[in-house]
Amino acid sequence: MKETPVPRVVTCRTCGKPVAWIPENTYRPFCSERCRSIDLGAWAAEEYRVPEQSKPLPDEQ
Ligand SMILES: [Zn+2]
């Protein structure tokens, strides 16, 4: 009886490809650096979408 370690497989959040959750995969939970940048870019875009009118007015008199 031989035990084979089965890596946990997750789904790439960007493209939906199965990604093995292994230490060698530095881009997990993404399949590649490209997918990781796409997701981080989308996240950053959401963060920067701040309503302009909520900003305090500059103190110009
Ligand atoms: Zn991907």
pTM of the model: 0.58
Domain span including residue 21: 8-47
**Per residue in 8-61, pLDDT tens?**
999 999 999 999 999 999 999 999 999 999 988 887 887 766 666 666 777 876
Contact 43/32 with Cβ under 8 angstroms?
no
Residue 2 covered by a domain: no
Nearest to 21 by CA among 6, 35, 7, 36: 7
- Number of structural domains (the chain) is 1
- What's at 35, amino acid-wise? C
* 49 alpha carbon – ligand 1 mean position (Å): 25
CATH number at 42 reads 3.30.50.10
Residue 54 covered by a domain: no
* 5 alpha carbon – ligand 1 mean position (Å): 24
Neighbours of ion ligand 1 (CB under 5 A): 12, 14-15, 17, 31, 35
Residue 13 covered by a domain: yes
Residue 59 covered by a domain: no
Mention every residue, 6+ apart, whose C-beta is less than 8 A from residue 30: 12, 13, 14, 19, 36, 39
Residue 48 gets the label, from left (phi > 0), alpha (psi -120 to 50) or beta, of alpha
Residue 12 covered by a domain: yes
